[in-house]
Chains A and B, each alone.
Chain A
Amino acid sequence: DIQMTQSPSSLSASVGDRVTITCRASQSISRNLNWYQQKPGKAPKLLIYATSSLQSGVPSRFSGSGSGTDFTLTLSSLQPEDFATYYCQQTYRTPCSFGQGTKLEIK
Chain B
Amino acid sequence: QVQLQESGPGLVKPSETLSLTCTVSGGSISTYYWSWIRQPPGKGLEWIGYIHYSGITRHNPSLKSRVTISVDTSNNQFSLKLSSVTAADTAVYYCARPDGELRYFDWTNWGQGTLVTVSS
How near does chain B come to A98, taking the closest CB pair, in angstroms?
Answer: 5
Assess whether A49 is interfacial by the CB under 8 Å rule. Answer: yes
A95 & B60 in contact (Cβ 8 Å cutoff): yes
Among candidates B47, B62, B94, residue contacting A43 with C-beta atoms closer than 8 Å? B94
B58 & A94 in contact (Cβ 8 Å cutoff): yes
Complex: how many Å from CA A107 to CA B119?
Answer: 38
- Interface residues of chain B, those whose CB is within 8 Å of chain A, are 44-47, 58, 60-62, 94, 96, 99, 104-108, 110-113
| Chain A minimum-CB-distance residue to B95 | A43
Residues 61-99 of chain A, each 1 if its beta carbon lies under 8 Å from chain B, else 0: 000000000000000000000000001010100111111
How near does chain A come to B46, taking the closest CB pair, in angstroms?
Answer: 7
Among candidates A49, A87, A91, A96, residue contacting B44 with C-beta atoms closer than 8 Å? A87
| Chain B minimum-CB-distance residue to A4 | B44
How near does chain A come to B3, taking the closest CB pair, in angstroms?
Answer: 12
Q: How many residues of A contact B (CB 8 A)?
A: 19
B46 & A46 in contact (Cβ 8 Å cutoff): no
- Interface residues of chain A, those whose CB is within 8 Å of chain B, are 1, 34, 36, 43-44, 46, 49, 55, 87, 89, 91, 94-101
A91 & B45 in contact (Cβ 8 Å cutoff): no
Please indicate the chain B residues that have their CB under 8 angstroms from the CB of A44 in the complex: 45, 107, 110
Complex: how many Å from CA A36 to CA B58?
Answer: 22
Please indicate the chain A residues that have their CB under 8 angstroms from the CB of B106 in the complex: 34, 46, 49, 91
A98 & B44 in contact (Cβ 8 Å cutoff): yes
A1-B62, A96-B47 known; A43 vs B110 contact (CB < 8 Å): yes
